[in-house]
């Protein structure tokens, strides 16, 4: 059978029938909102390259988290900017570390939001790399030892889930076994499994003060040209005990999301990163694109590609639209 008997437009003729046949839907349930917490007091500062995204001092972060909770968003992912950086990033496992202090405040005042922590070192080291340097390169296995300390400390202070993002080999297994031996067998790991060495992280590095002082991250983050290797990383993380798999960035990597969806039964998370956010904001401000519509189409495409959940700086905007019935 073919045209004129077959006419796909029949199922597009009005919004009611389009609703009935719609295959993908965005929901507040899918969203994770990133929150940046920094040293100092009484600080709420908007980021120049990410309008609508703020950094909060610990005394101000609770109100920000309450807003997210009140919008119905289930989870946040926390990033920290410490006062003092050092060679190894020791703030990440200190009781007085920026993340530890933020976790205690958030858990005390907003116990009903799910808190994921980004587990990495680049915001905490003088050199801005994601681990311990030996010569000019990040030493994988020394970094694993510090990752374990960081992971345990986050959980002791209230983290509900850990998201290691440093792309060290064996990081999921190292953290899983550290958690299990400390009795934290119930804490899940969301692995940044396929994290690419991407220029779309530009604005984040300004916000998190985490740009590498020399070189780049290509010796640990993945080559954007490689899809098969992304699947290898994912399968390794599944074996190492990951509970959720992440692909990052999202937009230029929709093919990776779709492929990952096919090779694992685990939930897949996509990180709609800072550069993706900044481009849409900028285009909207210039009047060159419709910011809201492009935002929705972008997030929908990430879901359609196969993501179960999305980390996005747009989470609050989307939640507001959904709550107003605009979606």
Beta bridge partners of 46: 54
CA distance 220 to 130: 9
For the question of residue 85 being annotated catalytic, the response is no
Q: Note the maximum CA span of the chain.
A: 71
- Minimum distance of ligand PBG from residue 205's CB (angstroms): 6
Tell me which of 60, 85, 148, 248 is the catalytic residue: 248
CA distance 195 to 246: 8
205 is a site residue for ligand PBG (CB under 6 A): yes
Where are the extended beta strands (E) located within 62-188? Answer: 75-81, 114-119, 132-134, 137-139, 161-164
Beta bridge partners of 287: none
The answer to whether residues 196 and 249 touch, using CB atoms and an 8 Å cutoff, is yes
Closest to ligand PBG by CB, 184 vs 201, is 201
246 is a site residue for ligand PBG (CB under 6 A): no
For the question of residue 248 being annotated catalytic, the response is yes
Task: For residue 99, give both structure tokens.
Answer: 């993340």
x/- letters, 136..165, toward ligand PBG (CB under 6 A): -----------------------------x
CA distance 79 to 55: 10
Would you call 110 helix, strand, or coil by DSSP? Answer: coil
Closest to ligand PBG by CB, 283 vs 327, is 283
The DSSP output letter for 272 is E
Residues contacting ligand PBG: total by CB under 6 A = 10
The DSSP output letter for 89 is -
- Minimum distance of ligand PBG from residue 234's CB (angstroms): 18
122 is a site residue for ligand PBG (CB under 6 A): yes
> Which region, judged by CB under 6 A, interacts with ligand PBG, from 25-33, 91-99, 169-177, 203-211?
203-211
The answer to whether residues 260 and 236 touch, using CB atoms and an 8 Å cutoff, is no
Closest to ligand PBG by CB, 157 vs 272, is 272
118 is a site residue for ligand PBG (CB under 6 A): yes
The DSSP output letter for 199 is G
- Minimum distance of ligand PBG from residue 235's CB (angstroms): 22
204 is a site residue for ligand PBG (CB under 6 A): yes
Binding residues (CB under 6 A) for ligand PBG: these are: 118, 120, 122, 165, 201, 204-205, 210, 273-274
Which positions are annotated as active-site residues?
A: 195, 248
């Amino acid at each position: 059978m073919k045209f004129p008997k077959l006419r796909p437009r029949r199922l597009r003729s009005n919004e009611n029938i389009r609703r009935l046949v719609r295959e993908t839907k965005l929901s507040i349930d899918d969203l994770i909102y990133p929150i940046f917490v920094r040293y100092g007091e009484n600080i709420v500062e908007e980021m120049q390259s990410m309008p609508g995204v703020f950094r909060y001092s610990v005394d101000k972060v609770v109100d920000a988290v309450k807003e997210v909770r009140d919008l119905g968003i289930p989870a946040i992912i926390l990033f920290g900017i410490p006062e003092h950086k050092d060679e190894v990033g020791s703030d990440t496992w200190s009781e007085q570390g920026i993340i530890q202090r933020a976790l205690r405040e958030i858990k005390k005042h907003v116990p009903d939001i799910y808190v994921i922590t980004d587990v990495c070192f680049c915001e905490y080291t003088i050199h801005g790399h994601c681990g311990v340097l030996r010569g000019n390169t990040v030493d994988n296995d020394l970094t694993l030892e510090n990752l374990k300390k960081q992971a345990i400390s986050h959980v002791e202070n209230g983290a509900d889930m850990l998201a290691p993002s440093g792309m060290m080999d064996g990081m999921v297994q190292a953290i899983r076994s550290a958690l299990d031996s400390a009795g934290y067998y119930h804490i899940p790991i969301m692995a940044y499994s396929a994290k690419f060495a991407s220029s779309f992280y530009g604005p984040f590095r300004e916000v998190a003060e985490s740009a590498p002082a020399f070189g780049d991250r290509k010796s640990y983050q993945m080559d954007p040209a490689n899809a098969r290797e992304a699947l290898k990383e994912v399968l390794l993380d599944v074996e190492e005990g990951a509970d959720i798999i992440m692909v990052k960035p999202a937009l230029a990597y929709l093919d990776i999301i779709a492929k990952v969806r096919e090779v694992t039964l685990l939930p897949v998370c996509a990180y709609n990163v800072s550069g993706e956010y900044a481009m849409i904001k900028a285009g909207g401000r210039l009047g060159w694109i419709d910011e809201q519509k492009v935002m929705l189409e972008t997030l929908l495409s990430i879901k359609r590609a196969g993501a179960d959940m999305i980390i996005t700086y747009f989470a609050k905007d989307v939640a507001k639209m959904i709550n107003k019935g605009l979606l």
